[in-house]
Structure formats: C-alpha cells, structure tokens
A and B are shown apart, each in its own frame.
Chain A
Amino acid sequence: MMKKIKSPADLTKLQEAAKQRFDPEKPCIAFCTGTGCLAYGTQKLVDTLKDEIVKRNLGDRVYIRNTGCHGFCERGPMAVIYPQKIFYQKIKLEDVPDVIEKTVLKGEVIDRLLYKDPVTKTKIVKEDEVPFYKKQMRLVFGMNGLIEPTSIEDYLAIGGYGALAKALHQMQPQQVVDEVIAAKLRGRGGGGFPTGWKWDATRKAQGEPKYIICNADEGDPGAYMDRSLLEGNPHSVLEGMVIGAYAIGSTHGYIYVRNEYPLAVKNITLAIEKARELGLLGDNIMGTDFSFDLLINRGGGAFVCGESSALFASIEGRSGEPRAKYVHATDRGLYNKPTTLNNVETWANVPLIINNGSAWYAGIGTEKSKGTKIFSLVGKINNTGLVEVPMGITLREIIYEIGGGIPKGRKFKAVQTGGPSGGCIPEEHLDMPVDFDALTDLGSMMGSGGMIVMDERNCMVDVAKYFLSFLEGESCGKCTPCREGVLQMRKILDRICEGKGAMEDLDTLEWMGQAIADGSLCALGGSAPNPVLTTLRYFRDEYEAHIKDKRCPAGVCKALITYSIDPETCTGCHVCARICPTQAATGEKKELHTINQELCIKCGACYESCKFDAVKVS
C-alpha cells in the first residue's frame, strides 16, 4: 500500500520506483486484452501461457503483461514481445509452447506468427514497421500497448501524473486554461468546439459547484475509440480531468459511461480507487489545497444520452430528454450549474499538452484542426482497427496505406464518417485532408471518429435507411419533427427499397430534411437528415435506379433482387436445398438445382453456403 503523494518530489520518487520494477532487458510479452481481443479468446491464451511458465519454472525469465487495445483489431489475438518489439498476430493456443521455447528461451522469431505485408509479400518482424502502424502518430493511443490498465504503477512508470504535478505546482489555473486555448485543442466527441474556450467560459461563469464531466457514452455505431481508451489507459483520462478541474475551479466531476461497456467501467473504477489512495484524487491533491473527486454514472441504453443536455438529465436521475440549448452548459448545465462536458479522447489529450507545451501541440495537424484523432476504421476494410493519425492526413492514406484497402478485391464505394449525424463520402473526395472543417464542407462531419468503409456490394439507399431506423429507435420522442419526421422519412425509404418509390419522394425527402434540421429540439433530430441528404447528393443515380428501374445496383434490397442458380457452376451438392428454410431450393443430388421464386424469401442462406459460387444475385 503506497503512501499519499504530497509533492512533485514524492511523485518523482514513485515514478522512479515504478520504472525500476522491470528489467528492460528481460523479455516481456504484452498481450492485447481489450474487449475485441478478449472476444477472440485471448484470455484463455494468456492463462495457458501463464500456466506453462509456472510449470516450467520460468517465472523469473519473462514478464507477461495484459495490456489494453493495441488497435490492430483485425489481427487479434496479438502480442508484442519486448525488448525487441516483435509483433505476433493471430496467435493460437497451439502456438503457446513455441512462443516459450523459441522466442522466450532462445530469442528466435516464429515466422508463421509474423504479419505478412500483402503487397510486398514479406514478413515483418517489428511492430513499428507494420504498415498499419507506420503511418500512424500514436500520441494518445500508443501507451495502450505498454501498460496494464489496472496498474497505476505502470502509468507512473511512463511518467504518468507528471502533467498534473506541473499544472498544480508550477501553473495558475488561468494559465492552464490559456495553454489549452493556445494549443487549439478542439472537442473530440463530434462537436469540435474549442476546448480551451469552453473551460474559460466555465471558469468565468457564476455558480457553485462547477462540474466537469467525461462523456463516455460513445453511441455512434461502429465507433469504439473511447471504450478502448477507457479500458486501456484510464489514468490518462483521469489525469486530464483533474487538470481540467483545477483549471476551471471544479470540485465535483462525473464520468458517464455507456451501460454496454462493462470492462471500461471496471477499469476506470479501479483507476479512480487507486488514484484516491495515492492522493491524486480527493482532498488536497498532491499536497495542495485543491480538492476534487468524481463519481461514475452509467447510461441505460439510450444513444440520445450522448447529447449533452440529455446526459445531464440522465445523471440527474431523469429520462434522457434534451433541453433547448439557448443557454450554454458552461453557464447552466448539470443541476443548472456551470458545467464543462468533454469527450474521453479530449480529456486524454490534456496531459500531453501540459507536458509538451501548446506550441508543440499546435505544430501538429492543420491550420484549424490541431493534434491527432483516433478513428475506428471498420466495415469493408482489410485492416479493421483503431488508428490514430495527425489531422490533415488524407482519406486515401487512411483507407489504403493504413487500412490496406478493400477486401476480396472489391471496389471502394464510400466512407461514412460522423455516425448517424454524418454523411457518406464518395471516391472523388478521397484525397481530401481529414479535419473538422473539410469534412463539414463535404456535407459530413468528423463526429466521434467512426469511419465505415463501404464497397460496391453496399446499397447507399439501404445505408440511409439503416441510419434512419437507428435514429427512429433512439429518438427520445419529445419533439414532433424528429419523432414523427424521422419515422416518415424512413417509411419513404422503405418504399423506395421495395420498388414502390416515386421521383416526388426525392423532393419530399429534401423538403422534410430541411424542416427537420431547422425544427428539431436537439442535434439528434437536427442532424438526422444528413445521411439521407448526403447519399442523395453523391449517389442520386442509385436512388433513381430503385425508383425508375426498380433495380438495386448493389444487389441488396430484397424486393428488387432474385437469387438464382447458375447452371454452369452448380455441382448438385444439395447443400442449398438442405438449409433452405422454405424449401425453395430443390433438386436431385448431382443434378442442377433450382430456386422457386414463389417460395424464396431471399434469406441469403444458399448464397452464403454454396462453395462453388453457383448462387447468383441479380
């Protein structure tokens, strides 16, 4: 049990001691144990490896670390072996003996576990040479692979809480605010509001207590950066929050976490306890007269609670109904007191700014968007995962050089950014630099960082319908334009996808879109038309094909496609007939099979199961 830190000197001592725990020359296997890799079965892998090591009495020859998400989710289970930084991916249980024999005991590299570059076809040994990682700038996320999130000592060993010491003992609160303003940090949750100005406004507002809140309600489907940060490096978020509280003059804070993130809740709860033990949270932090503490509040399964006023309502124990935001939260927010609400990633950027200075931070990125951004690159992409890149990198670089392009040799069609509030960007704009304003100019937005890649087999009308259905289910229902308007827009898209649309429907969608954007109470309704309007803008031909030709070019909309069996390639293996739920697929074994269109419900089972590619979609 460690003693409380009462001065920067105490902190330095603890940081040194923490560093000394590990001999940098001794092999260390750092396994990714984020939620994604755990779903791959990594826990069993780690446990088996640990048992082996105990059995063979090698406990003093190697360290095992359970770290947070490494980001290269496509390749899990994965591990990095220090000190050489060997990168092993897609590790299986059977590989455990070799990992011990060859790599731990003999320092040899196991070829089959290395990442193979699909272009050069060569195997890559070191983590930072893997193309996925090479072009990234992992300032915020990079620590995930080095530390055990449940260990405050690990965080101290990499210099953790040094920024807090600097802020508390060398800077006045207003100076801290000014640093963040000078760094030009903008909110990473989607709004992109200048963080420093938000802090400044809260600091100057009337009312006590002042609150700071971390928005960990990450609701955009396909985005999971915040979860991985909270799971993998909770102290970085905590440190940022304490610095922010000092700057603003806040004594109370909350971390509002989505209900669906149990591991994140677990790790941040533990981090808070440990920080309290060491006097980094609570009364008289680090021996100063600054006191601040925080509580964790969990969401109940409502996307709308990611919206600031709905989030406040939820913390206040009410249903997540937003309020009109004519008065800023910085004046009247939680419990009508001055409140600063920032996203997880925003808070995690703060220690970096204090440690390295605003000039350093402002040197990264573009004119109006500084620093890095973590994106979740998912969908039809080879290298699915979390990537951190400097603002200003192009979409093409992210998708092709880091993401490895589209799988199965298919053609890129669009990339969706900004979640349900954003839009789909087509090929012609791939060379656009990624930053807040450029994305907004294209009709989309940065959003929280979800980047969903789509190929020629994705129907853009179907995608627009998907987002509307999502919002329909998440609307709080208070205001008419969102509650009823989104429903009616979705119904129009349903008809179009069923081949029952008319060209006037497109005009109606545009009219409704403008009215809903103007009339809605909050940003959920206000931005609900975006996916429809951007797909109409860039993919109008697809809408027209559905309406005029009753055709779905991508082969997705059920009412407009048929499944049939190609006589050239069918081998009569009978698999389709066996699994067809309606006996629409029939035939004699070893003879050509057919699909009865009257009975076919277009479930796709035959298409998926045919090993000879004989089932065609038209």
Chain B
Amino acid sequence: MKKVAEIIQKYNSNKGFLVPILQDVQKEFNYLPREALNAVSTILDLPLSRIYELATFYKAFSLTPRGRHQLSLCMGTACHVRGASLLQESIERGLNIKAGETSDDLEFTFETVNCLGACALGPILVVDEEYQGQVTLSKTNKILKTLGKKVATDDEED
C-alpha cells in the first residue's frame, strides 16, 4: 500500500483532508479497495469504523470496482423538467442494471448524479467524462449501441 502512503504524505497526514485523500485513492484504484481503507486507518491511526463511515456516507465513493464505461445521468431539476426520468428508465432497461449499479461483466457503471450545472444542454448524459447534451430516448439508445449494447434504434432497417 505504498501508493496510499504517498497520497497521505501529499496531504501532510492531515486528518482534515480525509475526504480528498479517499478521493485520490479512489482515482488511483478506480474504487476504494478494503486494503486501502485499512492502510488509511493504520497510517493515520484512526479507527477503521471512522474511515468506513466516510467511505459509505459520501456518494463519490465506491467500495466495489467500477465498470470500464462510466455513464452518469444528470438528475438536476432542469433536466428532470425536460424528461430525465424516462431516460433513466430507458438506460436501466438497455444496460439491464439499476442506477447505482455496475454490470456483472464490469463493463458498465450507471449512476444518476446531482446537477452538473450545464442546464442549457439538458438532459445530459456523461459518457466516460464526455458530456452528451440534449439527449433524447433515441440518442441514448444510439449511445448504448456504440458502446456495444443491443438496443433498438429508430434508424435501423428491419
């Protein structure tokens, strides 16, 4: 767990920076592995229950490995008002997982996120950190198709 020690060092072992420390750890490993949380607990001399509490309180953290493709659907008010709930259901059907889950083959993680602040482009689906704006049911289907999922799109021929 050398990497974890390095990250903690970067923040001068300041316990106030537990959240940014965990964020950096997650960035490094794509999720928060148990060994990493144990290491943080040991190095900073804090009870494991405290680290675990933080890791489960803040929604930015994931205790399970995330998928190769990350899809985030904005659920801000402006996007909701422009029909984001129907989009959520459609993507859940297309990926066969519920929001907040990762597919069994570790290919996709789908989550709904709080307002991204790009409301003019709403509804927004972020696919692997790229913002796809003004998405419709049809557009999301096409996106899923390019990612390798079998969904019906309205430009197919019979």
Contacts and interface: CB of A to CB of B under 8 A. Distances in A.
B1 interface: no
Given A221-B76, A223-B115, A379-B81, A319 B121 contact: no
Interface string A277-299: 00000000000000000000111
A458 B77 CA distance: 12
Contacts of A574: 158
Interface residues of A, number: 62
28 contacts: A35-B116, A36-B118, A36-B119, A39-B133, A40-B121, A218-B117, A219-B114, A221-B78, A299-B58, A300-B23, A300-B61, A301-B61, A303-B114, A317-B17, A318-B50, A319-B57, A319-B58, A376-B117, A378-B119, A385-B120, A416-B77, A452-B78, A476-B57, A579-B154, A603-B93, A605-B138, A609-B137, A609-B154
B19 A317 contact: yes
Contacts of B14: 317
A224 B152 CA distance: 35
A100 B78 CA distance: 36
A28 to B, nearest CB: 25
Interface of B: 14-20, 22-23, 50, 53-54, 57-61, 75-78, 80-83, 86, 89-90, 93, 113-122, 124, 131, 133, 136-138, 141, 152-154, 156, 158
A224 B115 CA distance: 8
A458 B82 CA distance: 9
Cβ-closest 6 pairs across A and B: A224-B117, A300-B58, A73-B120, A39-B131, A301-B60, A221-B76
Contact of A579 (B116, B118, B141): B141
A588 to B, nearest CB: 12
Given A223-B117, A458-B81, 12 more contacts: A36-B118, A36-B119, A222-B76, A224-B117, A298-B20, A300-B54, A376-B117, A379-B77, A579-B138, A603-B90, A604-B86, A609-B138
A401 to B, nearest CB: 18
A419 B18 CA distance: 29
Interface of A: 35-36, 38-40, 73-74, 76, 218-224, 227-228, 259-261, 297-303, 314-320, 376, 378-380, 384-385, 416, 419, 450, 452, 454, 458, 463, 466-467, 470, 476, 574-575, 578-581, 603-605, 608-609
B119 A73 contact: yes
A299 B76 contact: no
B19 A300 contact: yes
Contacts of A314: 19
Given A301-B114, A320-B57, A379 B136 contact: no
A579 B153 contact: yes
B63 to A, nearest CB: 13
A285 B61 CA distance: 38
Contact of A384 (B16, B23, B57, B120): B120
Contacts of A376: 117, 119
B49 to A, nearest CB: 11
Contact of B93 (A261, A385, A581): A581
Contacts of B114: 219, 221, 260, 301, 303
